[in-house]
Amino acid sequence: MNTLTITNSNKPGNPVLFGGIILTLGLLILFDFSLSHVQMNYYDKLFYSRFIYWGIVVVLLFYALKIERQPLLLWKEENNAIGFFLLSVFLLYLSSIGAAIVSAVPVLLGEHENDAMMKKIVAIVTGHQAMIFFIALTAGVTEELIFRGYLLTRLSQWFKNNIAAVIVSSLLFAALHYKYGSLRELIFTFLIGVIFSIYYIKYRNIKAIIVTHFLIDYINMNIATHLKLK
């Protein structure tokens, strides 16, 4: 179940495979650069930027089907029972709490935490449940399809090594969150990337990862807005 299947058209070293990896990174960098130069209020910027993530998924889907000639989700989804699915979500969420504890260690040791960006986002979404839901849903679906569904599988093919693929894809996932300016956030997202990647390699169930990612963001933002109101 856990061995990688490499198609004839996309053997490691094939420029088409490497092109997909570069395309993904290029789209994310272009998105980040463009967003920083758009002149609009932060609420609108936060809202409309979510659609760009969906657009990136569409581009990768097209690239996978038309250029790579293989599915976006390279690894066939395992049909697990509902009990296993729910247990997976529960354990993955517990793992995220462990990752949050570990990521807080630098702060406990006296490292200054820059949470200005997070406070700004919390201030904007407070009282806007639909916005919180949309942000969490977008992050859960698109980030998992991009980083686990696409990048992790292609990096596994490219490196012919799952460990290297997990580390690189997790570093890239953490880099996506660099604008928060928070060491804690970088550590947390890296650890989450590792946890989710290992789970996906072992169990081939991206749906559980998507749901867990959604819950992490949705619950955390609601807690943050609640504490702000207090």
pTM of the complete model: 0.90
Number of domains in the chain: 1
Residue from 175, 144, 150, 177 nearest 165 by CA:
150
In a domain, 1, yes or no: no
In a domain, 159, yes or no: yes
What are the pLDDT digits (tens) for 83-132?
999 999 999 999 999 999 999 999 888 888 877 888 888 889 988 999 99
pLDDT of residue 12: 47
Check if the beta carbon of residue 65 is closer than 8 Å to that of residue 72: yes
Q: Whole domain around residue 69: which residue ranges?
A: 10-229
In a domain, 3, yes or no: no
In a domain, 77, yes or no: yes
In a domain, 2, yes or no: no
**CA torsion through residues 23, 28, 34, 38, sign:** positive
3-state secondary structure (DSSP) of residue 54: helix
